[in-house]
Amino acid sequence: MTSDEKTKKEIKIRAANVDFFYGATQALFGITMEIPAGEVCALIGPSGCGKSTFLRTINRMNDLIARTRLTGEVLLDGANVYDAATNVVELRKRIGMVFQKSNPFPKSIFDNVAYGPRVHGMRNREALEEIVQRSLQRAALWDEVKDRLKDNALGLSGGQQQRLCIARALAVDPEVLLMDEPASALDPRSTAKIEDLIAELRGDYTIVIVTHNMQQASRVSDTTAFFYEGHLVEFSATATMFSRPEKKQTEDYITGRFG
Amino acid sequence: MNARTRETAAFWAMRLTAYSVVVIVGYIVVDIVVRGAGTISIPFLTEPMRKSGLEGGILPAIAGTFWLVACAIAAALPLGVACAIYLTEYARPSRFTDMVRLAITTLAGVPSIVFGLFGLGLFVYQLKFGQSILAGGLTLACLILPTIIVASEEALRAVPADFRAGSMALGATKWYTIRTNVLPYALPGIMTGSILGVGRAAGETAPILLTVAAAYLPFLPNSPMDKVAALPYHLYYLATQVPDMKAAEPMQYGTALVLIALVLGMNLGAMLIRAYFSRKHRW
């Protein structure tokens, strides 16, 4: 991708001067970046660098943590998600999230996927069945579970559980998918499946993925953001970042010299 | 004495205290069962008492205990669960929540006769319920409130935070999340705690002494505003108020057996529920 092409792209998420605080501790310092629609953006950096915190500012999951504070703006399609008028329920319907530790609910596979649509008021059984099937198919899990939708989701393997969580996120028809190290607890085969899935979903969804795995970032993403100690050190096309990083710090990190 | 002997001695001392608990409970239960079993019969369980309780059955006392417990749980369960939800899910730790917790602990330590006096003052006189099932049941509700709150809080805290985050990330509100994705998993724990509370309420004498008080009342209640007999109080009556103590002994032990079977039965039920659900829910 050339920079010319990139400038033409529609911007889905824009962060402008985002500072974030846990109590008195500042975790993010003036983060400014633009994530194009339909692309996969990887957030990399050593533990505690603020990449997960930044991810959670996008769907306001940090609101759930006591004594946190954000200044600056995070814009989704040009509208500030921290605006007083923002409906958080609606926001989180548009921005799905997949967590590091797969967290299927102790309900049936069906009820897990149908949870989101039900949250948003859908009661029609047939419509729910259709959504569940479509979401599981999108998450490449349908064939493995179609005969046991009534079984408890906790009986699935780790990799299946994570794909179920992706299906669950997809079921509310989001525009953006936030993934917080979705494959860090999985074996290589399950990881490969998740990566294939990300490639499949790319284009239809804007995906922001936090990862510790450099190879994974280079394989799945269009753009990569390198965070270090709460600062955004470098943000560019993935191909550029991994072949000729601008900053020495970035190069040191991606070549494994620290972090 | 060398270290090894001391170790063995300490071990045995602790082991004996543990055994002694079993021995005490065993003695009480066996004594009551042996002496009371002869009294238990269908008429004893289904007929009202006669001749100052020396003859007939104890049905009004069983029914009274049932009504009191039902009234207590109906009042204490919603209140206790709501309080626990507030403390665990909504309230952020502050001096205020510390105060609430201190109040709950204190409430749990208040002697039961004080609850009786409180119930007499508030429900019987102030709110003009008179001595009634309602007044007694509400007094018992105050007594078991701490048990229910603490059990519910523990059950709610045992539900992983991931479930809440996962639900909220799908756009659910906090209340929707609690209703559909926290409370259902906490329910077995809440039920267990509540049953233990009920067991305690069923056996208490002092709180109902002043608020329902019917020493010898061989009738079934018609409404929540009626006075009613109750097992523990009937037992107290049989043990202290009848003229011929010796003649009352079979009735005393029979009543005690019914009461203890009720309480132990409930505790056993609570244990079974806990065991069943802890096998079913694993996360």
Fold of A3-105+174-254: Rossmann fold (3.40.50)
State the complex-level ipTM. 0.88
Provide the CATH number for the domain around residue B178.
1.10.3720.10
DSSP states along B192-250: HHHHHHHHHHHH--HHHHHHT--SS--S--SSTTS----HHHHHHHHHHT-S-HHHHHH
| Residue in chain A nearest B93 by alpha carbon | A66
- CB contacts under 8 A, B 195-214 vs A, are none
Across the interface, whether the CB atoms of B171 and A169 are under 8 A apart is answered no
Whole-number pLDDT of residue B143 = 93
Across the interface, whether the CB atoms of A99 and B185 are under 8 A apart is answered no
Q: Of the ranges A30-39, A174-183, A249-258, which one carries the lowest mean pLDDT score?
A: A249-258
**B179: which chain A residues are within 8 Å (Cβ-Cβ)?**
none
Whole-number pLDDT of residue A8 = 63
pLDDT at A249 over 70: yes
Chain A contact for B95 (CB, 8 A cutoff): no
pLDDT at A136 over 90: yes
A57-A63-A64 Cα angle (round to 5): 125
Q: How far is B178 from chain A (nearest CA, A)?
A: 12
Chain B contact for A68 (CB, 8 A cutoff): no
In a domain, B13, yes or no: no
Whole-number pLDDT of residue A2 = 47
Q: How many domains does chain B have?
A: 1
In a domain, B176, yes or no: yes
Question: A25, A35, A182: which is closest to A97 by C-alpha?
Answer: A182
Chain A contact for B185 (CB, 8 A cutoff): yes
Q: How far apart are CA A217 and CA A50, in angstroms?
A: 17
In a domain, B22, yes or no: no
In a domain, B40, yes or no: no
pLDDT at A153 over 60: yes
Whole-number pLDDT of residue B281 = 63
- CB contacts under 8 A, A 91-110 vs B, are 91-93, 96-97, 99, 101, 103, 105-106
Task: For chain A, give every domain's residue range.
Answer: 3-105+174-254
What are the tens digits of pLDDT across the range B193-228?
888 888 888 888 888 888 887 777 777 888 888 888
* pLDDT > 90 in chain B, percent: 51
What band does B282 get if pLDDT is binned at 50, 70 and 90? Answer: low
In a domain, B75, yes or no: yes
In a domain, B98, yes or no: yes
Whole-number pLDDT of residue A1 = 45
Q: How far apart are CA B51 and CA B55, in angstroms?
A: 6
Question: B25, B54, B24: which is closest to B39 by C-alpha?
Answer: B54
What are the tens digits of pLDDT across the range B48-94?
888 877 778 888 888 889 999 999 999 999 999 999 999 999 988 88
Q: What is the mean pLDDT of chain A?
A: 91
In a domain, B120, yes or no: yes
In a domain, B162, yes or no: yes
The Cβ of residue B197 has, within 10 Å, a number of other Cβ atoms equal to 29
Chain B contact for A89 (CB, 8 A cutoff): yes
What are the tens digits of pLDDT across the range B233-271?
888 888 888 777 788 888 889 999 999 999 888 888 888
| Residue in chain A nearest B166 by alpha carbon | A103
Whole-number pLDDT of residue A147 = 94
Chain B contact for A78 (CB, 8 A cutoff): no
Across the interface, whether the CB atoms of B185 and A106 are under 8 A apart is answered yes
- What residues make up the domain containing B100? 55-280
